[in-house]
Structure 1
Amino acid sequence: MDNLFITVPLILLIVVVLFSSFVTVQQGSIAVTTIFGKYNRSLYPGLNFKIPLIEKIFKRISIQNRSVELEFQAITVDQANVYFKAMLLYAVWNQEEETIKNVAFKFMDERSFMQALIRTIEGSIRGYVATKRQSEVLGLRREITESVKEQIDKTLEGWGYHLLDLQMNDITFDDAIMKSMAQVVASNNLKAAAENEGQALLITKTKAAEADGNAIKIAAEAERQAAQLRGQGVALFREEVAKGMTMAAREMQQANMDTSVILFSMWTEAIKDFAENSKGNVIFLDGSSNGMEHTMQQMMGLHKLMEAQKP
């Protein structure tokens, strides 16, 4: 009976020791063990064996990407308050032993690490913004991010971490400054709109003037060509009349007839045409025999001049 009381606790102790000799590490994390408070080794994902009762799990470290959101205030060189909202993405630098030791032992706990990380980022951004004017901050979003990344990455590397990304999600100012900035933007937009409208009106007026000028040129050219054609038509008409008179005169000469009959006939036809188509206008003609003779002499002289000019 005494042996039974001794055997049962012994068996239970062996079972407890046996189960405590194995530890499971989840995927995406690394376990750090200590022996009597001193770093011993790192356990990786899966089932691991550890020295029972002596080797203890000190900390489980996540090697997955982690993010944190930040909200803080900074002051520019011209004493304007700037409010930032940022998102920080970071992870353990690598899985080497020294890196894991830094992550496990640099800070007392996770809360202390996060506080140091946030204060370091805030201090870096505030130091950068303090050298800039309020009007410059919005245009320097990328420069602020790059400057902070360069400084923070070196600090995090000493802690065993690596900065993956830093995003400035929102940059705002006090309400009074935001209203004044909105007014400036609105006035600039109105100025740009007025300038664009002026340019458009100038272009419209210029095009209209060019179109009017071109229309005048086209009309003048058309009038010139029409006058030229009218002159050519009159000249051709006179030439044809002269040719007809010449042919008629030759035929009458061959028939031994007086050619003045042609001129007399044209004279009477002209008077008849004036009478029929004058539409009430008064036309004075010298209808005497001397006038007719004078007119016929002029026409005969024109005929002789045209005959002399022919080659």
Structure 2
Amino acid sequence: MLVTAVIILFIIIIVLGTSFVTIRQGTVGVITVFGKYRRVLTPGLNFKIPFIENLYARISVQNRSVELEFQAVTIDQANVYFKAMLLYSVLDQQEETIKNVAFKFIDERNLMQALVRTIEGSIRAFVATKRQADVLILRREIVEHVKDQIDNVLETWGYHLQDLQLNDITFDEVVMKSMSQVVSSNNLKAAAENEGQALLITKTKAAEAEGNAIKIAAEAERQAAQLRGQGIALFREEVAKGMTVAAKEMQQANMDTSVIMFTMWTEAIKHFAENSEGNVIFLDGSSENMQKTMREMMSLEMLDRNNKK
């Protein structure tokens, strides 16, 4: 009886031990009955019929990542080397989705192989239609192309492509060197153009400044000349007034007014001698020339008087 009780207790413990299963958070369990899908177990402690229901698989619904390295060829026969990071996850936790994830592939290894090859093939097909010089600026277009091409396929497998990052795009060493030379020459060209533009701007500004300075100087000279002319005119007017007064006084005293002209002539000779840079003044001291000079000065005086009348 004791042995029988121990055996029965042992069987009960085994039955109870196989009747409950724990599913971790972030995963779901797939139950089969004699190899056929039965139901999905949610995270936590779950009951299953011992010896009848079997825990076929635990499926993670968390995000998963994988790194890719592969090669593609452009339309102009340039080799392009990609290093990428793929982020994917189970589409959702609906029963049909979980069934696809559990039974579409034999194991995880086969899933990864199909997923990687599908993405590589999509990128290769896209790159094959582009030129080598355009590939580097088409990262976003490549990613969008891959998502458009394989999202529907992945959904039939029960998965969703969260993100695809092209971390590195390189070419053969010869191509990289030629691209570097092109970039260097373009930079030199841009620098030369910028320098030329800067020099043009500098010279333009200098020319504008010089032109403005010339305008200012010309305006100042014009105003100065105008003021000098006004000064000379005022001087002549005052001289004429003084000569008129002196002539009237000399006429009243019965004196010859030509003395005034002679005095002005001698004052002019004195001014030339004091202010000129030369050392010698040549004068014609003959009486005929003196009389000629006096007549001319008197004629100028008469002309000035007539103009004033």
TM-score greater than 0.5 by the shorter chain:
yes
**What are the ranges of 5 or more consecutive residues in structure 2 without an aligned counterpart?**
none
For residues 122-171 of structure 1, the C-alpha deviation after alignment (integer angstroms, 9 at most, x for no partner) is: 11111222222222222222211111111111111000111111111111
- Residue aligning to 1:284: 283
Kindly state the Cα deviation for residue 244 of structure 1 after the two structures are TM-superposed: 2.0
Matched letter for residue 280 of structure 1? N
Q: Alpha carbons of 1:284 and 1:90: their partners in 2 closer, same or farther (altered >3 Å)?
A: same
* Matches of 1:219 and 1:282, distance apart in 2: 36
For residues 92-136 of structure 1, the C-alpha deviation after alignment (integer angstroms, 9 at most, x for no partner) is: 111111011111111111111111111111111112222222222
Q: 1:120 aligns with which of 118, 121, 141?
A: 118
**What's the secondary structure of 1:52's corresponding residue?**
coil
Q: 2:138 aligns with which of 135, 140, 146?
A: 140
Kindly state the Cα deviation for residue 282 of structure 1 after the two structures are TM-superposed: 0.4
TM-score by structure 1 length?
0.87
Kindly state the Cα deviation for residue 305 of structure 1 after the two structures are TM-superposed: 2.3
RMSD between aligned residues = 2.5
Task: Kindly indicate whether the alpha-carbon contact (under 8 Å) linking 2:98 and 2:158 is maintained by their aligned counterparts in 1.
Answer: yes
Kindly state the Cα deviation for residue 53 of structure 1 after the two structures are TM-superposed: 2.2
Matches within 5 A, 1:132-281: 132-251=130-249, 256=253, 258=255, 260=257, 262-274=260-272, 276-277=274-275, 280-281=279-280
Matched letter for residue 87 of structure 2? L
**What's the secondary structure of 2:255's corresponding residue?**
coil
* Matches of 1:293 and 1:175, distance apart in 2: 103
How many residue pairs get matched?
305
**What are the ranges of 5 or more consecutive residues in structure 1 without an aligned counterpart?**
none
For residues 193-243 of structure 1, the C-alpha deviation after alignment (integer angstroms, 9 at most, x for no partner) is: 233333333444444444444444444444444333322222121011112
Kindly state the Cα deviation for residue 292 of structure 1 after the two structures are TM-superposed: 6.6
Q: Does 1:106 align with 2:104?
A: yes
- Residue aligning to 2:306: 305
Deviates more, 1:115-124 or 1:135-144: 135-144
* Matches of 1:159 and 1:23, distance apart in 2: 26
Identity of matched residues, %: 68
Kindly state the Cα deviation for residue 291 of structure 1 after the two structures are TM-superposed: 4.8
Kindly state the Cα deviation for residue 48 of structure 1 after the two structures are TM-superposed: 1.3
Task: Kindly indicate whether the alpha-carbon contact (under 8 Å) linking 2:20 and 2:47 is maintained by their aligned counterparts in 1.
Answer: yes
Q: Does 1:52 align with 2:53?
A: no
TM-score by structure 2 length?
0.88
